[in-house]
Amino acid sequence: MKTQDDHLVFSRVKSVVPLVRGSTRTALVTLDITGDVADLIADGSLVTAEIEEPVETPGFWVPLRALTADVRGLWRVYKVIETDAGDERIVFENVQILHSTDDRAFVSGTVSDGDRLIDGGVARIAPGKRVEVVKTSHFDGGTADPSEAQSPQTEQKG
């Protein structure tokens, strides 16, 4: 947790009142603070807590700029596929956002390892459009599978 004067303090949660105040979005939490820092924090002090809860789930990181809204709470990512005729076209895959940060989202969906995702400019493209990949980069999303899929920059053809 972080105190009002920006001291970073590690503590253990003793109890949480299961009620969130609607106007402030705050909850009453009792913490067990030990060590030298206990004297820095008075009872009833306002603190900001960052709670991490690791969850193992299949998925991958994508840049937020690669996502567009779809129906029923789903999102889309666009990828480049090679057709039987040998040309490259844009298709979309549905994904669900499981977690997001300022610039990326952890998603699950029908994207496969090795898929070439389009990571920007998705407002200007449409499924079925023929494209040519002119540059490929790798998005370092912080995890592997399939976020390491190549992110092609494309030029539309016709």
Assess if residue 54 is contained within a domain: no
For residue 132, the enclosing domain spans 60-157
Answer yes or no: do 79 and 146 share one domain: yes
Assess if residue 38 is contained within a domain: yes
Answer yes or no: do 22 and 86 share one domain: no
Cα gap 73→95, rounded to integer Å: 9
Cα gap 33→27, rounded to integer Å: 18
Cα gap 132→150, rounded to integer Å: 14
Assess if residue 40 is contained within a domain: yes
Give the residue among 89, 78, 86 at the shortest CA–CA distance from 121.
78
Residue with structure tokens 């820092």?
37
Answer yes or no: do 38 and 81 share one domain: no
Answer yes or no: do 145 and 72 share one domain: yes
pLDDT digits (tens, 9 = 90+) for 104-158: 999 999 888 888 999 888 888 889 999 888 877 766 654 434 333 344 455 556 5
Answer yes or no: do 96 and 152 share one domain: yes
Assess if residue 53 is contained within a domain: no
How many structural domains are present in the chain? 2
Assess if residue 97 is contained within a domain: yes
Cα gap 58→143, rounded to integer Å: 11
Beta-carbon count within 10 A of 82 CB:
11
Answer yes or no: do 76 and 116 share one domain: yes
pLDDT digits (tens, 9 = 90+) for 65-116: 999 999 888 899 999 999 999 999 999 999 999 988 888 999 999 888 888 9
